Amino acid sequence: MRKFGGNNMELLDGCHEGKHTPRLTEVLCPKCGRPVEVFVMMEGPPGVTGTLKADEKCACGFVLPAGSPEESYEKY
Ligand SMILES: [Zn+2]
């Protein structure tokens, strides 16, 4: 008898290359520590991290303002 299962392959998302494509990532809210989904624009010279594309409001009410650097938040 053949058994199925135990083979949870993770599907890799197709990479959307492009500097003007916002990247969805999760950072930790600096106020309450909850993960918040943010869109990050990768612009500027290489080595510079992206900035938030739009205001993102955490469940606690804290607003991560648009234009703030991604690196100013902890990665989820
Ligand atoms: Zn919060």
Q: Note if the pTM is more than 0.85.
A: no
Summarised one tens digit per residue, pLDDT across range 49-65 is 789 999 999 999 999 99
Q: Tell me, what's the pLDDT at 52?
A: 95
* Closest by Cα among 66, 67, 69, 63 to 30: 63
Tell me, what's the pLDDT at 22? 87
3-state secondary structure of 26: strand
Q: How far is the CA of 6 from the centre of ligand 1 (A)?
A: 37
Spacing, Cα 58 to ligand 1 middle (Å):
5
CA–centroid distance for 54 within its chain: 12
Please report the pLDDT score of residue 17 as a whole number. Answer: 53
- Where do the domains of the chain lie? 23-75
pLDDT digit string, tens, across residues 17-32: 555 688 999 999 999 9
Contact 64, 36 (CB under 8 A): yes
Q: Which residues contact 28 (CB under 8 A, 6 or more apart)?
A: 34, 35, 36, 73, 74, 75, 76
Question: How far is ligand 1, taken at its centre, from the CA of residue 33, in Å?
Answer: 6
